[in-house]
Amino acid sequence: MADAPDGYILGNLLLFGRLLRRLGLDVHVGRMLDAIRVLEDIGLERRGDVRAALRTLLVHRRDDLPLFDEAFDVFWRQRKDSTSTMDLRSMGEQRRYRRPSAGPPSPGREPDDSAEPADPDEGFDRVDLTRTFSAREVLRTRDFAEFTPEEMLEARQLMASLQWDPGLRRTRRKEPGRGHGLDVRRTLRHNARFGGELVRLETRRRKEKPRRLVVVCDVSGSMERYTRMLLHFIHSLYAGLDNRIEAFLFATRLTRITKHLGQRDIDRAVSEVAKAVPDWSGGTRIGDVLKEFNFRWARRTLGWGSIVLIVSDGWDHGEPELLSREMARLQRSCNRLIWLNPLAGNEDYEPLTVGMQAAAPYIDDLLPVNNLAALFDLADHLNSLSQSRPVRRQQTLQTTEEEAPIVAASAPQQRSWHAGANPTFRHPLWGRGEPRNGA
């Protein structure tokens, strides 16, 4: 069976490879040669073998396996008629967007900004830079929900100017530098010329890398007035942090939007998410959503000391117990859990909703996101985070009745979290008279 159908198989194999590439699989050209060699070797008698061989040769991502199988079935099916290419077209629907036609939107301009018709004479891509300082001040403190399209555009520019720096984490890798570890190798090398006398000691220190940020944003009905600005906010985070963020949206279900952020216009991403979420403006089930996050994504996104930002008003229609449990779990698996609540900007706000009450014990920082000033404060806050984990009260699980002692951990350098801008809400830990600036 070795070489009988050579030309025929060769042609089909190359066609198949091209099909896979069209479907978005990363098919390695050189690998096609291997495939040909291999099929000569193993023969074509057993369809299962051919499939297994091509699969292991041509696919290298788990997510591509189902697509490959489908393509294989369609392409290499028993020939009843010879019009197999027709069916392939329907599969094109599943093609993933690997190379988007449009680049990332530049932060300053926006093709279509809003549902409202634009002013007839002025385009939105020009902003009047002669606005007075006081006008900017007004903009800073105006609630996002009250923005006009022009203000939104200007706000986006201001946002783009924000500096985001969620701090560094120490990795376990070492690099030459001032540190405590002796770099024996370099020491010996550099001192060999002194005849074995160790004159100068070289040291190593821990290498540091920037932390990653994970944003989980509520886009349910109660958040509607803020959704647009929040998405812009996430987008500016993405740009400002050099792609080191993961972003998710949710109403009742969780949708990952990270890949949309860099490649496409944010507004289009929003409409796509709107399609994916059946009850866009419906109720919120934060507990279920966090559970889904914990199950599916936490392991893959929180591995390296990430900071989690949850953006929600806390109007939750799910079970509070579930929310508590999942919040506890989430907090345990991240470096810092920050909850951004647009309502928290209000002077009289108190976290009284059932959802906020259930979540509160597990939040490291509760901050407002209702206007630009709040975003500036958030940026300041992130930039000033200390490297260590925040001090947390040890929580017992809801399901058990055993008592766990409250850990009076020494608070090394708990930073004051907020430059006094919003004294009405206190951090849950400090609210109980915990030490603020070290024990």
Q: Taking CB under 8 A as the criterion, which residues in 35-94 touch other proteins? A: 37-38, 41-42, 48-49, 51-53, 55-57, 59-62, 65
SS (H, E, C) the chain: CCCCCHHHHHHHHHHHHHHHHHCCCCCCHHHHHHHHHHHHHHCCCCHHHHHHHHHHHHCCCHHHHHHHHHHHHHHCCCCCCCCHHHHHHHHHHHCCCCCCCCCCCCCCCCCCCCCCCCCCCCCCCCCCCCCCHHHHHHHHHCCHHHCCHHHHHHHHHHHHCCCCCCCEEEEEEEEEEEEEEECHHHHHHHHHHHCCCCCCCCEEEEEEEECCEEEEEECCHHHHHHHHHHHHHHHHHHHHCCCCEEEEEECCCEEECHHHHHHCCHHHHHHHHHHHCCCCCCCCCHHHHHHHHHHHHHHHHCCCCCEEEEECCCCCCCCHHHHHHHHHHHHHCCCEEEEEEHHHHCCCCCCCCHHHHHHHHHCCEEEECCCHHHHHHHHHHHHCCCCCCCCCCCCCCCCCCCCCCCCCCCCCCCCCCCCCCCCCCCCCCHHHCCCCCCC
Out of 79, 89, 99, 172, the residue judged to bind other proteins by CB under 8 A:
172
Using the minimum distance from each CB to other proteins, give the nearer residue, 52 or 408. Answer: 52
Q: How many CB atoms within 10 Å of residue 437?
A: 9
Using the minimum distance from each CB to other proteins, give the nearer residue, 303 or 435. Answer: 303
Out of 174, 205, 389, 436, the residue judged to bind other proteins by CB under 8 A:
174
Q: How far is the CB of 103 from other proteins (least distance, A)?
A: 21
Using the minimum distance from each CB to other proteins, give the nearer residue, 192 or 408. Answer: 192
Phi and psi, residue 50, nearest 5°: -60, -45
Q: How far is the CB of 198 from other proteins (least distance, A)?
A: 9
Binding track, positions 192-221, relative to other proteins; x by CB under 8 A: xx-xx-------------------------
Q: Taking CB under 8 A as the criterion, which residues in 291-350 touch other proteins? A: 294-295, 299-300, 303, 325, 329
Out of 34, 122, 146, 279, the residue judged to bind other proteins by CB under 8 A:
34
Binding track, positions 116-145, relative to other proteins; x by CB under 8 A: ------------------------------
Longest Cα–Cα distance of the chain, Å, equals 84
Out of 15, 22, 24, 28, the residue judged to bind other proteins by CB under 8 A:
28
Q: How far is the CB of 55 from other proteins (least distance, A)?
A: 7
Out of 26, 69, 122, 350, the residue judged to bind other proteins by CB under 8 A:
26
Does position 253 interact with other proteins (CB under 8 A)? The reply is no
Q: How far is the CB of 52 from other proteins (least distance, A)?
A: 4
Does position 184 interact with other proteins (CB under 8 A)? The reply is yes
Q: Identity (one letter) of the amino acid at 11?
A: G
Does position 18 interact with other proteins (CB under 8 A)? The reply is no
Region of 29-37, 127-135, 223-231, 336-344 interacting with other proteins (CB under 8 A): 29-37
Number of residues that bind other proteins (CB under 8 A): 42
Region of 131-139, 278-286, 375-383, 396-404 interacting with other proteins (CB under 8 A): 396-404
Terminal-to-terminal C-alpha distance of the chain: 80
Does position 99 interact with other proteins (CB under 8 A)? The reply is no
Region of 28-36, 91-99, 104-112, 266-274 interacting with other proteins (CB under 8 A): 28-36
Region of 180-188, 264-272, 365-373, 388-396 interacting with other proteins (CB under 8 A): 180-188
Using the minimum distance from each CB to other proteins, give the nearer residue, 253 or 436. Answer: 253
Residue 120, token pair as written in the block = 């007839």
**5, 39 Cβ separation under 8 angstroms:** no
Binding residues for other proteins (CB under 8 A): 26, 28, 31, 34, 37-38, 41-42, 48-49, 51-53, 55-57, 59-62, 65, 171-174, 184-185, 188, 192-193, 195-196, 294-295, 299-300, 303, 325, 329, 397, 399-400
